[in-house]
Amino acid sequence: MNMMNRIGPLSVAVGCAALIAMAPASADVARHQILTLQYDQVDYYLKGDASRAYPQSFTLTLNPCDGTVSGPGLAPPFGDSFTAGAIDGFQISYDSTYVVNGQTNYAVTVDNAMLAKDYSISGQWSDNWSQGPQVGSVFANKPFVTSTAYRNHGDFVSQNPDKNDAAHSCIGMPVVSKK
């Protein structure tokens, strides 16, 4: 075998390896991304009265690093609200806070409501109303879901204005399945 026959296949193999190495790191690797869940209507029903819903809306941002969710919302007719909580598997827990009739610390609490694969919600709620606590059921249809699309952790860090904080995040890192 002469030298040209040896170099030909080797150079093709090296050329292909270089092309593979330049391919994006995320080609077939699931990566942590930031999800935004926009609920246009979350209906709260008082126990014993399924005829009247008390709607609220909110947009939650899911941090995949720790499972927390938070975001602003609206609780008609009371005004702006803020919702914060956590997602654990197929359950969501959160508090929505806003001002009700002068009560500045009013909170609706949802503990361990069912969270379907499409992020719709079904569960129970309670509150801390100053005139007596209330309870009931809560339902929300599938929200409008958006996601970031960082190719890798470096992509997230480079696009974040606070590079030091971003460097400590899991965003863009490969998702490791727990077996």
| Local confidence pLDDT in tens for the 179 residues of the chain | 443 333 343 333 333 333 333 334 445 788 989 999 999 999 999 998 989 999 999 999 999 999 999 999 999 999 999 999 999 999 999 999 999 999 999 999 999 999 999 999 999 999 999 999 999 999 999 999 999 999 999 998 998 888 888 899 998 889 887 66
Write phi, then psi, for 149 (nearest 5 degrees). Answer: -140, 55
Full-model pTM? 0.80
How far apart, in Å, do the first and last CA atoms of the chain sit?
50
Paired tokens of 144: 């409008």
> What's domain 35-146's architecture?
Beta Barrel (2.40)
Residue whose C-alpha is closest to residue 54's, from 25, 31, 75? 75
Q: Where are the domains of the chain?
A: 35-146
